[in-house]
Amino acid sequence: MKIAVGFDHAGFPLKEIVLEAVRAAGHEPIDLGTHSADPVDYPDYAEKVGRAIQSGEAGRGILVCGSGIGACIAANKMKGVYASICHDTYSAAQGVRHDDMNVLCLGGRVIGPELAKALIAAFLGARYIGEDPGGERLARRVAKIQAMEK
């Protein structure tokens, strides 16, 4: 799967770690920037990642800003983008399995490289189970979220 990745200047120090973690999980990263530690605005990168998901260019996305919060708020303004900040592996996987989360947001000033790798592995290793037998309650909830977008 192609994974759109975006960073602001505060997330930039984790960039190579994130790109390598995506590759290590067997996926292809789409690097949407930033390409230096010069100050930039996180909403610009959240939009780039969101557009890649909306267009089908990417199946999922990863955003890294200073806290993860700003990128998460910005990404969730986009239809069809379901982003969450996760700093534990349970949430990174469970968000995909139960809530069809498609964007993982990380705080570059909050977590270190090893935790970033573990979170990305959990996120990319999970799949939505709402369409599986017994997943009707999950699908019902996700459908309610999708209806709210309209």
Domain boundaries, the chain: 2-149
For 2-149, CATH gives 3.40.1400.10
Exactly one of 65, 72, 86, 105 is catalytic; name it.
65
Average confidence (pLDDT) over 25-50? 98
Q: Give the mean pLDDT of the chain.
A: 97
Structure tokens at 121: 């592995």
68-116: pLDDT as tens digits:
999 999 999 999 999 999 999 999 999 999 999 999 999 999 999 999 9
Rounded Cα distance between 46 and 34, Å, is 11
Known catalytic residue at 105: no
Exactly one of 9, 27, 87, 98 is catalytic; name it.
98
Known catalytic residue at 9: no
Rounded Cα distance between 116 and 112, Å, is 6
